Amino acid sequence: MTVYSAVVTTGIYCRPGCGSRPLAENIRLYGHAGAAEADGFRACLRCRPYRVAGPVSADVPRLVCAAWQLIISGVLDGGTEAALAERVGVSSRHLRRLFLKHLGASPDQLARSRRAHFARRLLDDTDLTVLDIAFASGFGSLRQFNRTMREIFHAAPGELRERRHRADRLVADGGLALRLPVLPGYDWPAVRSYLGARAIPGVEEVRDGAYRRTVSLDGAPGVLEVRGGSDPGHLVLTAHLPYWEGLIHVVDQVGRLLGLDTDPASGAAALGADPVLGPLVASRPGLTVPGAWSPLEIVVAGAAGDGLATLVRGLGTAVPGLPGGLTHVFPDAAAFTEADLEALGLPAELAKTAALTAQTDSGLAFRTGDSEAWPASDPSLRAAVAELFPAGVDPERWRPWQALAAMHLITR
């Protein structure tokens, strides 16, 4: 978990490793940048804490994690804390109390901080206009955007752009490039290899050291590419999209897909004592569990089996002219009718199988953030268990980190 240091005598908070050396008695520690900002501190201009990864700790209650994921999906972009609380089944007062206790700020304060930090990264990394950045970051108006940036960074967006360093601006051969902060030790090669081995034909591919995929925004196709950055603290996402409004949510989906929104430190510490897993964890303490672009893709891929490529070609939207093996956008849920499946020579019951799988399959839970999921049907996991545990193993021994244990075995 990223811990931010705020200095009461200067009113500034910093990320770990900043060169400032304040007296210990003047320091307050925060687990989230938004919490420091809620207490009136502003970001350090030297270490720029908005550029580092700051996922919610795995130690917070599940209800808080669920609410945080809804915030990431944009529930508070135009909604209220009361609506968020209703979604997770508690009162707004109780939800606010939980957030203040475990994260140090209210849901609204954290959502505002998150949008502002994303906008600040776009001001540094890209040449998008201030207006485009406002809507790409989830703000409802330019006035709201300007007010929030002044409150959090004590300067207008135009002034903040003028402060960016010469090396900040990313240049892409077409598309929009921006940095994706990662935690120290994040194992990009392992995650990339995992995704490549399970890539949906025509929709995803790993080529030349990069992960690439097609996406759809309101029916219009786009392409995303992720590759390693110039330093281990970030990856680089290059987006080719039909428009930039709501870009923050696209980037969040990429983060979930790559496992960037979880901190594996607690799990690594717990699994490190295991006599078999310990050496695997020690060699890659930053390994995390990849997520999914959407649950639908995981469900259909598991249900379709060898017919997945046929399904994508028959029901997906063709995107001509793309380099490499990308050819289609994955079909949406409405495309999976019995008649359409039968026309492709696929079993009509696949639609029902997919629905059942969505409710019961541990492979789906593994890719959608359940730390206790154990994808027993994964061939690589079965092979690893057979090799390392010839007498068999009960994954309950690793509770509540079964998913992370499985990932270490799958990618050993």
Spatial separation of the C-alpha atoms in residues 248 and 68, rounded to whole Å:
15
Please check whether residues 195 and 314 belong to one and the same domain. yes
Judge if 47 and 177 occupy the same domain: no
Q: Give me the helix-helix angle, 92-102 and 81-88, nearest 10°.
A: 90
Distance between CA atoms of residues 58 and 72, nearest Å: 16
Q: Residue 227, exposed/middle/buried by CB under 10 A (0-12, 13-18, 19+)?
A: middle
Q: Does residue 275 sit within a domain?
A: yes
Nearby residues of 16 by Cβ (< 8 Å), 6 or more positions away: 2, 3, 4, 5, 52
CATH no. for residue 243?
3.30.310.20
Q: How confident is the model at residue 259 (pLDDT cuts 50, 70, 90)?
A: very high
Q: Kindly give, in sequence order, each residue whose CB lies less than 8 Å from that of residue 188, ignoring residues fewer than 6 positions away.
A: 182, 228, 235
Q: Are residues 312 and 242 in the same domain?
A: yes
CA distance 373 to 364: 9
Q: How confident is the model at residue 296 (pLDDT cuts 50, 70, 90)?
A: confident
378 catalytic? Reply is yes
Q: Span 320-339, mean pLDDT?
A: 85
296 is a domain residue: no
Tell whether 215 and 329 lie within a shared domain.
yes
- Centroid of chain to Cα 11: 30
In a shared domain, residues 119 and 82: yes
For residues 165-193, give the mean pLDDT: 90
pLDDT at 303 over 90: no
Q: What is the pLDDT of residues 42-65, one digit of tens each?
A: 999 888 999 888 777 667 888 998
A 10 A CB-CB count for 94 gives 13
Q: Which of 259, 226, 221 is nearest to 241 (CA)?
A: 221
Concerning whether 47 is annotated as a catalytic residue, the answer is no
Residue carrying structure tokens 């990313």: 170
pLDDT at position 353: 62
Do 210 and 276 fall into the same domain? no
Q: Which of 207, 206, 197, 185 has its CA nearest to residue 260? A: 185
In a domain, 191, yes or no: yes
Peptide bond into 400 cis (omega under 30): yes
pLDDT at 173 over 80: no
**Mean pLDDT over residues 108-115, rounded?**
94
Residues 6+ apart with CB under 8 A from 360: none
Is 352 domain-assigned?
Answer: no
Let me know if residue 356 belongs to a domain: no
The per-residue pLDDT for 46 is 87
> What CATH number did the domain enclosing 93 receive?
1.10.10.60
| Average pLDDT of the chain, as a whole number | 89
Which one is catalytic: 14, 44, 47, 65?
A: 14
Whole-prediction pTM value?
Answer: 0.90
What is the Rg, in whole angstroms, of the alpha carbon atoms belonging to the chain? 22
Asked if residue 329 and residue 187 are part of one domain, the reply reads yes
Question: Which entry of 125, 208, 378, 394 is annotated as an active-site residue?
Answer: 378
Strand extents, DSSP E, 99-217: 176-181, 204-207, 210-217
In contact, 36 and 242? CB cutoff 8 Å: no
Does residue 75 sit in the same domain as residue 157? yes
Token pair of 270 as six digits: 């717990």
Give the per-residue pLDDT at 1: 62
Question: Using CA atoms, how far apart are residues 327 and 387, in angstroms rounded to an integer?
Answer: 38
Q: In what order do the strands lie in the sheet with 12-14?
A: 27-30, 4-7, 12-14, 42-43
Q: How far apart are CA 347 and CA 205, in angstroms?
A: 26
Q: What is the pLDDT of residue 402?
A: 94
> In this model, does residue 349 exceed pLDDT 80?
no
Same domain membership, residue 98 and residue 31: no
* Last residue in a domain, options 162, 189, 214: 162
CB of 136 closer than 8 Å to CB of 122: yes
Residues 140, 230 within the same domain: no
In this structure, is residue 339 part of a structural domain?
Answer: no
Rounded Cα gap, residues 224 and 203, in angstroms:
11
Q: At what angle do helices 62-72 and 81-88 cross, to 10 degrees?
A: 130
Give me the domain span that covers residue 392: 265-291+362-410
Predicted confidence (pLDDT) at residue 341 exceeds the cutoff of 90? no
Task: Report how many domains make up the chain.
Answer: 4
- We report the CATH number of the domain holding residue 367 as 1.10.1670.40
Question: Does residue 300 form part of some domain?
Answer: no
CA distances from 83 to 25, 42, 90, 271, 412 (A): 40, 29, 10, 38, 43
The answer to whether residues 152 and 193 belong to one domain is: no
Cβ(361)–Cβ(370) below 8 Å: no
CATH number for 32: 3.40.10.10
Look at residues 282, 316, 334 and tell me which one is the last residue of a structural domain: 334
HSE of 58, CA atoms in CB hemisphere, 13 A = 20
pLDDT on residue 248? 96
Give the residue from 127, 162, 197 where a domain finishes: 162
| In the predicted structure, residue 333 carries a pLDDT above the cut 70 | yes
Q: Both 237 and 179 in a single domain? A: yes
Residue partners of 379: CB distance under 8 A and separation at least 6: none
151 part of a folded domain? yes
Find the angle CA(193)-CA(195)-CA(196) to the nearest 5 degrees.
Answer: 60
